[in-house]
Structure 1
């Protein structure tokens, strides 16, 4: 028998490749919506593959779609002039105006029978109303599992909180809500930007000062990357919630959001979790709210609060743990794990959004997060070292305001009564650890004629 020949075999086409569900599922999330739409118009085969397959629109990112962006970003009606200048219907509501572009996109997807295939929906930075989110939670035509609405505009948080409470009510229908995870509190994922060449504008800014020069900016960027690489190597993961990253949520959520997270526990997860510090446990917290000096007791009870600070897996500097115990992925209650950025491309389950990925494939590190109130006077804002309640209760100085701390420290040094309050007792002063960062901050401030100059 002679050697086999393949001259009669036809080459594998793009339609053949994309007909493979696994290949389409891995490829489609990297393609913009416009590319998928254009691809479906090239041939009948590709039209069937793209629009009939449940994988093509499983992950839908509309944050960069121009038709989803409202060009008018000012008030809806200023004295009745701008609104009427657009020649709109006088009966148009605020929700109709702001959610119009997105509703139009969803209507087109519904006509193409692709809307129910969307399981992960990213709307970061767009104009999203609370009424539209209510539809994701309650209407059957949507099948969204993971929803990202970070840094959206014109979102009525009060209404959204009401809709979330309604969606998770005990009398809700079975298998509702379909949305299982919401990205809301953290910053949106950064878009990669190509390196820009040196222009006249950058040359002009370089002549205005050392720190505004291109070299200084590149150096600062590399320092930040080096810090991130070091944290990733020490914690064995690139997920910032599991690193000593400090503040993870730029804007402190209102107390009402903590109550919403409590109501949604076990039903809807968020990219934030509640603080589990002992001060939030009535059985462990101190009964009094304040001392005779009018200063809050370091162990007094505080209401449920969202954790905004990631402390890393090493725990307290003294005991290397924490009183509430770290959250261990796969062992602790799933409500203790936040949704991790970026939004998963190839999975729409809570596990895909919550599981930390280690660099060596080993067991994920412990998760320790706290709110600002539970770390007051016991956490360094620079190096992120901290001491728990059992190892360092905090001195009377640490419980005062920064101005009171400064005045009391100066009084101690001037009066020569340091034996009443030994220096080594104070571990954190004015937000910096006394052993390392406070001295460096003072020297940096003195060199730049800052507050220590």
Structure 2
């Protein structure tokens, strides 16, 4: 602006008046910072309250007024507060009160309809409130994140989702196209407490008996974990955990009802988890062939639909580097086979942007290998995440503890026409076995790294899970103090 020959500098209000700039900056600002910015001047107040780009991405997980700071309503029959409440108030209405107040405030200011991405992780989100977000016209949410939500009835939420995707639903509904529910929420940065830091240093300075409990061992374990994450990202060419050898991606195993709900929502609502496509979930393969009688169903072959909870990495089977169901590749596989990736997208509310893996080198998308735990029983190492498919290792489907060794033989055809059976090169050891309850099912390679035999009692022990053990003795033989029997 030119006034009397002087050019005024560009202000922050002028910069944020550009919708493109505001669209890129607003998702990185907390809600409290946005309101603090609007309170600084009249120009910024108009920019915040008159623009539709400010609250396109709304994260309420860090808003203090959205948290219910009270104990449950009924705690042993004792009233938790002295104020009188309306007797017709239900428990869901009580726990959804803070969020409803925020939504009402945004609706009065004509901002609620502009929210396309809503994050409610860790808050009190009853199923009735999710139903309103999905069904009410005052909401226009496309991607909803309710990971680790409290007071959320999962059975009721399943009914809400099944009703929302019913065949007789109105055209253009539901507006919600993606829901983050199964995975863990994003870590919230917390400032360090000086007292807690002092206690942590005291614990580190205190002497410990175990070789794995020392400070040097703990630092080494942390660096090993970081190097493992860096190696997984380099092998998968992406930082997305679903495409790495991450192991279990869902802390709590989803129920079969959730698998049926996700299957009913295929093509309509996407989730941050997908159904397992292993051959045991295919009804056409759940038969055994017998020449003497017609094909009959095998009781141990077919599995009901289940959610894939294990990320196996980009290399596939350890032997054939593939799988019977073929991996899902973004851009080629149907959208229902691709999970929503974390974190929640900031600038785009489309499902494609939430499912697209971002490679480190800019190359094509990596393959996605995911399975449920039932399809990996006896064939997946829980430590290094190696796995074998059904064609390379036929593990027992009944026994929980499977055999560890499988020997392959070939026929060595001699020049004189005689044949004899010889080992191929050496014994091929595949499959997993549970040698340590803390480590879980592990392969022979991981067993050689962490399982030792005590030189005194000759029993096997794990270096990591036996804190008082040493490199040559188990925790019992390495304990020099007086042993007492603890009755309780």
Which residue of structure 1 lines up, in the alignment, with residue 461 of structure 2? 445
Report the equivalent of 2:348.
347
- Quote the residue 1:293 is aligned against: none
Matched, 1:51 2:49: yes
The answer as to whether partners of 1:446 and 1:452 remain within 8 angstroms in 2 is no
| Unmatched runs of 5 consecutive residues or more in structure 2 | 290-296, 407-422, 435-439, 453-459, 478-488
Which structure 1 segments of 5+ residues have no match? 1-5, 289-295, 410-418
Q: How far 1:93 moved relative to its partner?
A: 1.0
* Structure 1 partner of 2:317: 316
Deviations 1:361-390, CA, capped at 9 Å, x for gaps:
111100010000000001111111111111
Where does 1:161-172 land on structure 2 (aligned, <5 Å)?
A: 161-172=158-169
Match of 1:146 in 2: 143
| Equivalent of 2:184 in 182, 187, 203 | 187
Asked if 1:224 is matched to 2:225, the reply is: yes
Shift of 1:440: 2.3
Q: Structure 1 pair 175/298, CA: closer, same or farther in 2 (3 Å)? A: same
Change (3 A) 1:434 1:253: closer
Report how far residue 123 of structure 1 moved.
Answer: 0.5
Alpha-carbon distance in structure 2 between the residues aligned to 1:314 and 1:156: 38
- Using the alignment, how far apart are the partners of 2:275 and 2:324 within structure 1? 15
SS at match of 2:368: coil
Secondary structure of the 1:147 match is strand
Q: Would the alpha carbon gap of residues 287 and 134 (structure 1) be closer, same or farther in structure 2, given more than 3 Å must change? A: farther
**CA distance in structure 2 between the aligned counterparts of 1:196 and 1:364, rounded to whole angstroms:** 42
Gap change, CA 1:425 and 1:224, over 3 Å in 2? closer
Mapping 1:362-381, distance limit 5 Å: 362-381=363-382
Change (3 A) 1:261 1:227: same
Whether 2:248 is the aligned partner of 1:247: answer yes
Q: Secondary structure at the match of 2:144?
A: strand
Q: Find the aligned partners of 1:53 and 1:30 in 2 and give their Cα distance.
A: 16
Give the match's secondary structure for 1:359: coil
Q: Aligned equivalents of 1:348 and 1:278: distance in 2?
A: 34
More helix by share: 1
Q: Check 1:212–1:113 CA distance in 2 against 1; reply closer, same or farther (3 A cut).
A: farther
Task: Give the structure with the higher percent strand.
Answer: 2
Q: Equivalents in 1 of 2:145, 2:207: separation in Å?
A: 40
Q: CA RMSD in A?
A: 2.9
Structure 1 match to 2:24:
26
Deviates more, 1:207-216 or 1:276-285: 207-216
CA distance in 2, matches of 1:48, 1:428: 63
CA displacement at 1:40 relative to structure 2: 1.9
Determine helix, strand or coil for the equivalent of 2:6. Answer: coil
